[in-house]
Structure 1
Amino acid sequence: MSVPATGNLCASCLRAAGLSQPIPPNLYNDPTIRNALARYDFGTVFVAVRKKAGLSQMQLGALLDLSQSRISAVERGERNIGHIKLVARIAARLSIPAHLLGFTPELDGTLAREEVSWMDRRDFLILATAATLGSSLHPELARLGNALPGEAAPVTRTSLGAADIDAIEAISAAFRRWDMAHGGGLCRMAALAQVQQVRALETASCSEEIRIRYWIAAAELAAITGWLCCDAEDHDTARRLWTYALDLTHRGQADPRSTDLAVSILLDMIHQSRHLWHPLNVRHGDDQRRKEALSLANLAATTASTRKHPVGAITAGFLSDETASCWALLGETEQMRRALGTAQEQYTASNADNTHSWTSYITPAEISAGVGTAYFLLSLTDPAAASAAIDPLTTAVNSHTPEHAHSRASQLPTLTAACLRAGDYEAAAAYGREAAVAVNSVSSQRCRTRLRDLDALAAHYDRNPQIADMREAIRPALVGAG
């Protein structure tokens, strides 16, 4: 008889986070494991869990937010785990019955999980980690497809061929091109419908080679659709789609592109966390998002280093850029600069052989924007960094082609804000007007939100007549940014 996983922990986390699927229900009934838990000997527990779940030390560390070296030291008995918050986190993520660790049992042993918004889920990072590492690690992942919006398409195909995969890949590429040029607002619903159409092919018969290609093609389509939803400020749907896509990349990890795509999806999730923190209007920032962004960057780095196939050099560079911005959000100057230096080395190593189609948006302009964004985010804690953000951001907005008008529209508000923080009000007023025109030319609620946040920041500077006039000029473009 298995021990019910109850305890003085978050009920939803105990149910949803726990690796309950791959771990035999009687593992924690084993006298050796019980005695180890009573002594807080997590080394014995970690070894047993890894053996049953087939995890490496690095993968277990990613799931528990611990470094591989920390896992190794605990398993060797060189380090202990005693801090109550860390013990509680480990118990939640490994479904360890709480009373075996000395927590008071809860009265309700069912631990039934209520349906909550994915933006409010306390266990979202755990679920994303489980999706990245593999569907068998989390029972909810098997039901992810059913949680996607829209009606499931009827099954009309009984077999799947190479031409079908080519068509799915072409559809994804078309949506990506449209988003880069025009924003995602006008094609989001069409993309959601296509995701359901492609899901209907899951059970079609095909060769193993085609099945692997299907998983990666379906993941790419779900990933770009998630980005379109994020751009429309439908963040809950975006997270569902990205988690679903991460799970598909793990199923298709035999494909050489799988690692690159998984990391690219996590990069989109980092962008979302940063956007939700409202860096242009930091008074409304959610501090949780800063930590969430860095956790996602760490998960992406773990994915890049543990998958069978290597990540592409340009994706690795963009990950380093994003990691730099995550450190900048935390005010960590040296870590930010080291990450930017690593990014430049990785970009230098990129070539056609290690670059995939979904990285087409990572242009020299986008790379410059990454550097400028990092320095701008650092300026929130170190105002002197604002001036260092201006040149790379200016290079970015002046280098974008019409095919990347969406990127230009999203970066102009940041450039304007950097000029404001640096005290260059004339340039800020000029770029603010450009930002309003650019945002008005694309279908992007996310860009409008950034413009609204810029307006909130500019309100602190509008004693300057140039800034006051700029705020009047951008007001018509703020419609729909609420």
Structure 2
Amino acid sequence: MPQPSRPQELPAGLLTNPEMIRACRVRDFTRVFRLVKAKAGIYPSMIARRCDLTPSRVGEVIAGRRQLLHMDVIERIADGLRIPGHMLGLARRPWETPAALVVTDREVPQAPEPDRQAPESLPSPDVDSILALTQQTGLSAATLEAFRSSIEDYWRRDDQHGGEALRPAIVGQLRHVVGLLKESRRTPIQNGLYGVAAELARLTGWTYFDARQYNQARAYFTEALKLSKEIGDGQFMANVLACMSLQATYQDKPADSLALVTAAQDHARSARGTTPRVLSMLSMREAFAHASLGNQISTHGAISEAHHQFERIQPSDPDPLWVSYFDEPKLIVDTGIAHGRLGEATTAERLIADALRRENRTNHRGRAFHAFWLARTQLDQGKLEQACHTATQALESASAVTSERVTGHLREFYDQLVPHRCEPVALAFEARLREVLPPVSGSLHP
């Protein structure tokens, strides 16, 4: 009996079928799924199960009503149906290499699940002997303020350059703070340390999420939830759940995304002193989840609620520091992205373009994301020259930041150019891409 983890191979005749090869090359999954059904006897419900998709989504693809563009989904299809990576423009898949030849996996193995009763038990709990020398430092309000200032600085540098290079320092500080928690009695200072540890755990999870290493991200997000629960910080728990909701959106798991953001809103509403800015941010994350599900009415309702809450913001509101990024340009660009996810490209283009003119130019990752979204909405409207010009400008921001999520957005736009690859503006964009981002462009299929 075959092992459950080893899906049935597709017939060699299907993998060498010219029609299958052409469909895979342009990622025409409508045709791929139809051929898999007709030639291999793998029916839609089996495709859904093997590729971790919903049956309804597979049905929409087969009917030609939905496209699949996210790299995570394409990789799941390659692995679930055993389509060699090169056929779909992917790197060689792990299962294509005999076990004896495998050297390393892409993702770091996930650490054992942390002990629920011991917040000091964290993913990868290696003790840093250098940091251990500082554990006898006296604790005070100034100590907490120093930790919070460093977290603020980490976030600023993460926006500018990505979190990959920052992660060792963040994890080291997290272990140090957890070590202090072991030695301290429950006092207001220790409660503050729990909050600092929760913020550092969320930041670590965010750096893994940005690198598309989702197992590690989930482990640290979970630890952040546990730490914030220790001190009953419902607002911060809502913040972490909102991060997990966004990750589920990227993993093309919209039902999970909606469940997580709904739980986040429940925690926020029941928490004392939750501010309108927090509620506005959460409503926008809800809009992302509904848009990924294709639910237009619910998406528009969540967008309206986000704007309603934002209008209630007062300068005197005691906003947590972690929500300060959610300013008016961010509200506008997220509104545009939600419309873009629904396929409402005209509305999305206007909003995203407006936000790009107004947002902070030092946030390289955000500007790269938003510019690629703008280019996609322009391409959806047939504005090829304008889209390629926008994407070329986005390359400058993308080259300044190390972010696998930025690379993913770039790949999605690059894939959308497939029907236009011979057009001069598309060729010019590709040439500029190879000049500015040679390591990334080298990983894109020709």
Q: TM-score, normalised by structure 2?
A: 0.68
Does residue 1:177 correspond to 2:136, yes or no?
no
Equivalent residue, structure 1, for 2:388: 429
Equivalent residue, structure 2, for 1:268: 243
Equivalent residue, structure 1, for 2:404: 445
In structure 1, the gaps of 5 or more residues are 1-116, 122-126, 128-138, 278-288, 380-384
- Inter-partner Cα distance in structure 2 for 1:140 and 1:170: 29
Following superposition, which runs of at least 4 residues in structure 1 exceed 4 angstroms of deviation?
117-121
Does residue 1:329 correspond to 2:292, yes or no?
yes
Q: 1:460 to 1:157 in 2, by over 3 A?
A: farther
Aligned partner (choices 185, 208, 212) of residue 229 of structure 1: 208
In 2, are the aligned partners of 1:169 and 1:221 still within 8 Å (CA)? no
Does residue 1:214 correspond to 2:174, yes or no?
no
Larger mean Cα displacement after TM superposition, 203-212 or 139-148: 139-148
Does residue 1:394 correspond to 2:369, yes or no?
no
- Inter-partner Cα distance in structure 2 for 1:386 and 1:119: 38
- Inter-partner Cα distance in structure 1 for 2:293 and 2:422: 30
In 1, are the aligned partners of 2:107 and 2:213 still within 8 Å (CA)? no
Does residue 1:186 correspond to 2:161, yes or no?
no
Equivalent residue, structure 2, for 1:457: 416
In 2, are the aligned partners of 1:195 and 1:218 still within 8 Å (CA)? yes
Does residue 1:292 correspond to 2:256, yes or no?
yes
Aligned partner (choices 288, 294, 313) of residue 350 of structure 1: 313
Q: 1:332 to 1:409 in 2, by over 3 A?
A: same
- Inter-partner Cα distance in structure 2 for 1:120 and 1:413: 32
Deviation at 1:141, TM superposition (A): 2.5
- Inter-partner Cα distance in structure 2 for 1:396 and 1:451: 19
Deviation at 1:331, TM superposition (A): 0.9
Deviation at 1:207, TM superposition (A): 5.2
Task: Kindly provide the amino acid, as one letter, of the partner of residue 223 in structure 2.
Answer: Y
Equivalent residue, structure 2, for 1:52: none
Deviation at 1:366, TM superposition (A): 1.1
Q: 1:119 to 1:332 in 2, by over 3 A?
A: farther
SS at match of 1:331: coil
Does residue 1:146 correspond to 2:121, yes or no?
yes
- Inter-partner Cα distance in structure 2 for 1:217 and 1:351: 26
Equivalent residue, structure 2, for 1:304: 268
In structure 2, the gaps of 5 or more residues are 1-105
- Inter-partner Cα distance in structure 2 for 1:209 and 1:321: 33
Does residue 1:419 correspond to 2:372, yes or no?
no
Aligned partner (choices 227, 234, 237) of residue 259 of structure 1: 234
Equivalent residue, structure 1, for 2:369: 410
Same amino acid, percent of matched pairs:
23
In 2, are the aligned partners of 1:229 and 1:237 still within 8 Å (CA)? yes
- Inter-partner Cα distance in structure 2 for 1:422 and 1:320: 28
Equivalent residue, structure 2, for 1:163: 142
Q: What is the aligned residue count?
A: 332
In 2, are the aligned partners of 1:195 and 1:222 still within 8 Å (CA)? yes
Deviation at 1:314, TM superposition (A): 0.8
- Inter-partner Cα distance in structure 2 for 1:458 and 1:467: 7
SS at match of 1:310: coil
Deviation at 1:453, TM superposition (A): 2.1
Deviation at 1:150, TM superposition (A): 5.1
Counting only pairs closer than 5 Å after superposition, residues 85-164 of structure 1 correspond to structure 2 as 140-142=115-117, 145-149=120-124, 151-153=126-128, 156-157=135-136, 160-164=139-143
Equivalent residue, structure 2, for 1:66: none
Q: TM-score, normalised by structure 1?
A: 0.64
Task: Kindly provide the amino acid, as one letter, of the partner of residue 321 in structure 2.
Answer: S
Deviation at 1:451, TM superposition (A): 0.9
RMSD after superposition: 2.8
Equivalent residue, structure 2, for 1:75: none
Q: After superposition, what is the alpha-carbon deviation per residue over 1:69-93, rounded to whole angstroms, capped at 9, x for unaligned?
A: xxxxxxxxxxxxxxxxxxxxxxxxx
- Inter-partner Cα distance in structure 2 for 1:390 and 1:119: 38
Does residue 1:202 correspond to 2:181, yes or no?
yes
In 1, are the aligned partners of 2:291 and 2:338 still within 8 Å (CA)? yes
- Inter-partner Cα distance in structure 2 for 1:397 and 1:169: 29
Q: 1:436 to 1:403 in 2, by over 3 A?
A: closer
Equivalent residue, structure 2, for 1:61: none
In 2, are the aligned partners of 1:144 and 1:240 still within 8 Å (CA)? no
- Inter-partner Cα distance in structure 2 for 1:396 and 1:158: 45
- Inter-partner Cα distance in structure 1 for 2:120 and 2:434: 41
Q: After superposition, what is the alpha-carbon deviation per residue over 1:224-260, rounded to whole angstroms, capped at 9, x for unaligned?
A: 222122222332222111111111111112xxxx233
Equivalent residue, structure 2, for 1:339: 302
- Inter-partner Cα distance in structure 2 for 1:375 and 1:264: 23
SS at match of 1:402: coil
Does residue 1:360 correspond to 2:321, yes or no?
no
Q: After superposition, what is the alpha-carbon deviation per residue over 1:375-410, rounded to whole angstroms, capped at 9, x for unaligned?
A: 11111xxxxx11111011111222222332221112
- Inter-partner Cα distance in structure 1 for 2:328 and 2:199: 23
- Inter-partner Cα distance in structure 2 for 1:160 and 1:226: 26
Equivalent residue, structure 2, for 1:479: 439
SS at match of 1:149: coil
Task: Kindly provide the amino acid, as one letter, of the partner of residue 255 in structure 2.
Answer: K
Q: After superposition, what is the alpha-carbon deviation per residue over 1:39-77, rounded to whole angstroms, capped at 9, x for unaligned?
A: xxxxxxxxxxxxxxxxxxxxxxxxxxxxxxxxxxxxxxx
Aligned partner (choices 227, 231, 254) of residue 248 of structure 1: 227
